[in-house]
Amino acid sequence: MTHLPALIYDLAMILLVASITTLIFKKLNQPLVLGYIIAGFLTGPHFNLFPTVSDMNNISTWAEIGVIFLLFALGLEFSFNKLKSVGKTAIIAALTEISGLILFGYLCGRILGWSLTDSIFLGGLISISSTTIVIKSFNDLKLRGQLFTEKVFGILIIQDIAGIIMMVMLSTLATASDSTPGLDLLFNVMRLLFFLILWFILGVYLIPTFFKKVYTLISDETLLIVSIGLCLGMVVLATNMGFSSALGAFIMGSLISETKMAERAEHVVKPVQDLFGAVFFVSVGMMVNPKLLVEYAFPILLVIMAVISGQIIFTSLGVLLSGQSLNTSLRCGFSLTQIGEFSFIIASLGMSLGVISDFLYPIIVAVSVITTFTTPIFINLADPACKKIKYSLPANFISWLDHYTTDTDTTSEGDTDWASFLRIYFSHLIAYVTLLTTISFLSLNYLLPYFASLLPTSYALLSTAAITLLTMAPFLRAMLENRGHHPELFSVLWFKKRANHLPLIFLVIIKISTAFFFLFLVFSKILSFQFFAAILLTFIATAIIASSDWLLG
């Protein structure tokens, strides 16, 4: 009798069950990903009425390949031109939403008594909405093409980029050493810079040139082999450098997306992505343990409330700060009240690296499933909620909002001005943050130990703080300079329309908050002041530096 490997039996079972569940969910007009999760639960170790998989290690390997192809496909859909097109609304709203949800998730985790790492990554996991669920809901409700849906799609693009950054942070956290955290931080930053430089070189020179040379020789079959080979090659390189395989897959996908082969590559890779992606989502369902769901019913309910309320509050606030009307802002906020596939990927990475607890994964799956079903309900609730809010707010405040916000999409010249302003703004902000981070690192890890070996402790702390503040001061002053390094663009945007005032003020607040953080680091970490004393001294130092024009000389 011919012997078949256990993997073939397992794949036959999970794919047959998945085909039935996905057909049922398709008939019910529900997302297919839910069908895959149900199939995983039915064939997994926590459901015994049907035969279960015999070798979870093989399924885990296939699921990891599924993550690789899902991120590769995401990279193929990503392009820098698409990133440029999202506009100020998406950037400001996404930054507000992500920072707010991370804080929400962290507070929920601490309230539940979870560890610091679990709490931080709970915030990260609930801050990313599901592109698949949102697109399906908009299609079902026939809302595509409206102003607020375009803003939502832009926010989702920024969220995907944030998800990639979170994966890098997770890998860094997993490999960091408790004994030498500063040196680990420097080493990881250097590795990341090298990887980004390699990304840039490959994206600008090698990959486009290669595809241009072989364009006439590549058939669809050859393109599939070449694309997967390049993807797995970058995965191996990223893994050997200490990053996740998913990051390497995304980067190679984004490199190919900038070539003339992008559309063809996306087409030929899709069947492979669908197959392995299905195995990944089935493996997600296998992690669902009913006993854990019952045990953690209250945390699941609390996280669901945090996702829904947090997305509505912070997304709406971010869109409002970008200059959009209250109606558009609320419709954006109510549309993103779910988490999805990217959260599964980050959670599975956290599980494989051993930096998050076992119970967090099934909680995230349960929250995702429930919020998937509630998404269309909340999208339909946006308009009634807006009317109720307008009715309850003071008339003067509503009148002020109408003056400083707009319900029209600003394109052409306005977008050009904003694109130029944001490019200059973020390039300078990144440069200053890099310099200030370097100064902080050198002060804490080299300057302070050096003075401690020569001077009494109090004098060593004061000397280190003084030198650190003096070194930081010119960069902090330049960052805090009124209207920054682009006064003409700032003035043009400020006087062009009132709707630009709120986003410009928001961007100024980001710079002030960044400077505040680095000054607070000096007073709290180096001088070891108590929290409220450090806050007070930071306020004073920020005001002094912001008003010291001689530092610009």
Structural domains of the chain in order of their starting residue, each with its CATH number: 6-176+192-391 (1.20.1530.20), 414-552 (no CATH)
What's the gap between Cα 511 and its chain centre?
20
- Sorting pLDDT into bands at 50, 70 and 90, what band is 179? very low
- Sorting pLDDT into bands at 50, 70 and 90, what band is 177? very low
| C-alpha–C-alpha distance, residues 71 and 495, integer Å | 42
Residue 29 neighbours by CB distance under 10 Å: 8
Residue 190's pLDDT is 57
Higher pLDDT, 449 or 243: 449
Higher pLDDT, 333 or 505: 333
Residue 192's pLDDT is 64
Radius of gyration of the chain, Cα coordinates, nearest whole angstrom: 25
pLDDT at 452 over 50: yes
Higher pLDDT, 391 or 341: 391
Mean pLDDT in residue range 214-229: 86
What's the gap between Cα 330 and its chain centre?
21
| C-alpha–C-alpha distance, residues 517 and 266, integer Å | 42
Phi/psi at 406 (nearest 5 deg)? -140, 155
Residue 305's pLDDT is 92
| C-alpha–C-alpha distance, residues 414 and 422, integer Å | 12
Residue bearing tokens 């590795």: 191
| C-alpha–C-alpha distance, residues 458 and 461, integer Å | 5
Which pair of tokens denotes residue 107?
A: 């507070």
CA–CA distances in Å: residue 105 to residues 311, 347, 358: 11, 14, 17
Higher pLDDT, 253 or 186: 253
> 510-541, pLDDT tens digit by residue?
888 888 888 888 888 888 888 788 888 888 88
Which pair of tokens denotes residue 498?
A: 């009132």
pLDDT at 411 over 50: no
What's the gap between Cα 243 and its chain centre?
16
Mean pLDDT in residue range 145-174: 75
| C-alpha–C-alpha distance, residues 360 and 351, integer Å | 9
CA–CA distances in Å: residue 80 to residues 94, 157, 256, 265, 276: 17, 11, 12, 17, 27
pLDDT at 441 over 60: yes
Secondary structure percentages of the chain, helix, strand, coil, to 5: 80, 0, 20
Asked which of 36-40, 107-111, 256-260, 263-267 is least confident by mean pLDDT, the reply is 256-260
Map 423-463 to HEC letters. HHHHHHHHHHHHHHHHHHHHHHHHHHHHHHHHCCHHHHHHH
Residue 486's pLDDT is 60
DSSP output for 244-289: -HHHHHHHHHHHHHTSTTHHHHHHHHHHHHHHHHHHHHHHHHHT--
pLDDT at 235 over 50: yes
Residue 6's pLDDT is 77
Q: What is the pTM of this model?
A: 0.72
> 240-296, pLDDT tens digit by residue?
776 777 778 888 888 888 788 888 888 888 888 888 888 888 888 887 778 878 888
- Sorting pLDDT into bands at 50, 70 and 90, what band is 412? very low
Phi/psi at 27 (nearest 5 deg)? -65, -35
> 322-379, pLDDT tens digit by residue?
878 888 888 999 999 888 777 877 887 777 777 788 888 888 888 888 888 888 888 8
Asked which of 34-38, 351-355, 469-473 is least confident by mean pLDDT, the reply is 351-355
The percentage of the chain sitting over the pLDDT mark of 90, rounded to a whole number, equals 3
The C-alpha torsion from 423 through 425 and 429 to 432, rounded to 10°, is: 100
Residue 307's pLDDT is 92
Residue bearing tokens 């769901």: 293
| C-alpha–C-alpha distance, residues 363 and 356, integer Å | 12
Q: Is 405 within 8 Å of 320 (Cβ atoms)?
A: yes
